[in-house]
Amino acid sequence: MNKRLTKAVVFDLDGTLIDSLPDLAGALNRSLARHGHGPVPPEDVAPMVGDGAKVLLQKGYATYDLVPTDEDEAIFLADYEAHVTDLTEPFPGIPKALADLRDAGYQLAVCTNKPEVSARKVLAALELEASFDAVIGGDATPFRKPDPRHLQAVLQAIDVDPTHAIMVGDHRNDMATAAGSGVTAIFVTWGYGRTDAPIRIDRADQLPTTVAGIFA
């Protein structure tokens, strides 16, 4: 069978599959505490998520008119890696939705700006990694979302044509990446981002029927 004729659903990670905000905010605030600053509330950290760890750190430091150094970034990444699974959990209904999609015959993949080691570590800890045929992190290619070549690298890894793929995400970067790749996108409202999108869902249990409807 020609794999390029199979269908795939590609997921963003943070804010889409997993609620990683508590651990991301914790790492940011421990970094800020090194400079004598108080914590940034999680609800203020949420809009900073989506462009990768380096940008998250830059936005968090900007709260105090600071610019992180290379040392700050290295310490932050190491600290987050050590605590990446402390409080992070799948969003409600995600494990079952993934199982239902796999049972329906779709390939599944992850396209995330998160470093790939961290992404795989958290997916494994949450017993989700086996659901995916590919996991491509933000440091695995020269490109990151919203550059469509990041998503295209994922599709190449699973050998699926863009016309047979769907991107699921909670951030404008996900929607832009999909649009630039000729891929239909589903915006999930339970995450950290806000954007206009023609196809939106509010619960994970709506994923299988929404995907089936797009591919019908």
Is there a contact between 210 and 200 (Cβ–Cβ < 8 Å)? no
What the chain holds in terms of domains, given with CATH numbers, is: 3-19+89-215 (3.40.50.1000), 21-82 (1.10.150)
* Distance of alpha carbon 158 from alpha carbon 178, whole angstroms: 16
Is there a contact between 81 and 117 (Cβ–Cβ < 8 Å)? yes
Element at 160 (helix H, strand E): none
State pTM to two decimals.
0.93
> What is the rounded average pLDDT of the residues 157-163?
96
pLDDT(3) > 60: no
Selected catalytic residue, list 12, 14, 72, 133: 12
Dihedral (Cα; 80, 124, 12, 202), 10-degree rounding: -110
* Distance of alpha carbon 144 from alpha carbon 51, whole angstroms: 8
Percent of the chain with pLDDT over 90: 93
pLDDT(42) > 80: yes
| Chain centre distance of CA 169 | 7
Sign of CA dihedral 168, 202, 93, 216: negative
Q: What burial class does residue 127 get, using C-beta atoms within 10 Å of its C-beta: 0-12 exposed, 13-18 middle, 19+ buried?
A: exposed
Please write the tens of the pLDDT for every residue from 107-135: 999 999 998 999 999 999 999 999 999 99
pLDDT value at residue 51: 87
* Distance of alpha carbon 177 from alpha carbon 19, whole angstroms: 21
pLDDT(214) > 60: yes
pLDDT(5) > 90: no
The question of whether 12 is a catalytic residue gets the answer yes
Is there a contact between 170 and 58 (Cβ–Cβ < 8 Å)? no
Residue 200, classed as helix, strand or coil, is: strand
Q: What is the mean pLDDT of the chain?
A: 95
* Distance of alpha carbon 89 from alpha carbon 86, whole angstroms: 9
